[in-house]
A and B are shown apart, each in its own frame.
Chain A
Amino acid sequence: DARVTQTPRHKVTEMGQEVTMRCQPILGHNTVFWYRQTMMQGLELLAYFRNRAPLDDSGMPKDRFSAEMPDATLATLKIQPSEPRDSAVYFCASGLVRDGTSSTDTQYFGPGTRLTVL
């Protein structure tokens, strides 16, 4: 049963510390998304990658957030320095786009990382 995995599941840190969240997409998927869920904003897209290249990171605060895909099996989201307003659940999702055509295959979400910044 293929799943998106995320680590850690929970993270409590102090303001100013660096936070790194990791995601392992489903094997064979070529598109990876990072979302943030808060009560106020709901589910927001932060960034997404296709074939490891960033396609859109317009939803991400550039000064403190960064997203990378070191290889096809790992995506990372870093916050440095973290702030209390970054407290949220961060979801990674993956999917497959075939040959650049529109895909009706769904995005598969991981279980999320619940981040609390004190």
Chain B
Amino acid sequence: DQQVKQNSPSLSVQEGRISILNCDYTNSMFDYFLWYKKYPAEGPTFLISISSIKDKNEDGRFTVFLNKSAKHLSLHIVPSQPGDSAVYFCAASADGGSNYKLTFGKGTLLTVNP
């Protein structure tokens, strides 16, 4: 029973264009959402987060949008750069923070082509 779903295993975009990564969740108790980025042979690193009281959070080239009614969030990267090529994990918490139990999606491999 996947409570956090990333339905696109991979995504390929051109450098300079927008990358949009999507994530859906089923548990209405989730109230805090995060995106992690993972390079090969490394652990995931935190990218950006959003609380359920917001619908948007922006940090430089990265913006996360949350649509609670649709139980959907997305990560926008503008403009995409080759160094953004990595696996992106969506994660959710029902405890209001990131240092509680997180449920992860299976990840989306983003490839940004020069």
Taking beta carbons and an 8 Å cutoff, which residues of A are in contact with B? 4, 31, 33, 35, 41-45, 48, 56, 91, 93, 95-97, 102-112
Contacts and interface: CB of A to CB of B under 8 A. Distances in A.
Interface string B94-108: 011111111111110
B98 A107 contact: yes
B interface, by DSSP: helix, strand, loop or mixed?
A: loop
Contacts of A112: 41-43
A106 B46 contact: yes
B75 to A, nearest CB: 15
A15 B36 CA distance: 33
Given A111-B41, A111-B43, A106 B107 contact: no
A110 B97 CA distance: 20
A48 B44 CA distance: 17
A42 B101 contact: no
Contact of A107 (B41, B46, B103, B107): B46
